[in-house]
Every structure is written in structure tokens, then in C-alpha cells.
Amino acid sequence: MRKLPFNIEYQLKTSSLPVLWNSVGTPLGLSEWFADGVTVDNNEYTFVWEKHEQVAELLQVKPLSFIRFRWIEDEGTDAYFEIKIQTVELTGELVLVVTDFAEPDEVEDMKLLWTHQIEELRRKTGM
């Protein structure tokens, strides 16, 4: 079954782009809220949750803007996940735009998972 793309936006209570980028664009930052641990070997990021590991290839990164990965098991497909930072022009606050892919019957569960992870980011950083 083909995975479907979805986007979710999360407005954050910060206007500090460097601080937010450190949380979403670095292995140390990602290990604070996204996974229990993150290691990097060339372009392969290994994400660890308790006893489960999942490897993703870094596809693209534009510092202070976005980072895009593809899970190794999705190789050969269009699927990826991306965390992009955008600025709200009126307030100067930052928004995270998450793009991910999921099986049609798993989209809502994946949205809930991302919301939980972003809540963890907010809790850890005060954003």
C-alpha cells in the first residue's frame, strides 16, 4: 500500500531561530525530544527509543530552515519526513511544519504521535 503525505503545523512560543534549530536540526537536540538517543554515521542517523532502533538517511538539510530524512525501510519510495521552520510575519514567532508519510489507515495515529513529540519539545524547551 502506498503511503500518503500529510502536513501539520505547530506554532511555538519562541522567536529564537538558532535555539529552535538546535532542537530540530542537530542529533543532540533531536535526542532531547524526538528519540531517546540519536547517533550519526555519515548521512545515516540512528534513532533509538528504549530498545527499538530505526535508521534514517539524511536527504537534505538547510541550516536554520529545514531537515529531511527517509527511513531506510522507505528507500525506493517517495516517503520522507521533514521538519521545517517558518516565521509568522505578524508576530515573529516560529512555526514548525512537519511533513510525513503514512499508510492511509495510520495517518491519524501518526499525527497524534507527532503532536505528542512536539509537546515533548515544548516541555523540554519551554517553547
Which CATH number does the domain housing residue 81 bear? 3.30.530.20
Give the structural domain span for 97: 4-125
Q: Tell me the three cell numbers of residue 25.
A: 536540526
With 0.75 as the threshold, say if the pTM is over it. Answer: yes
- Phi and psi dihedrals of 115, rounded to 5? -60, -40
Query: What is the number of domains present in the chain?
Result: 1
> Could you read off the pLDDT tens digit of each residue along the chain, which spans 127 residues?
789 999 999 999 887 899 999 999 999 999 999 999 999 999 999 999 998 999 999 999 999 999 999 999 999 999 999 999 999 888 888 999 999 999 999 999 999 999 999 999 999 888 8
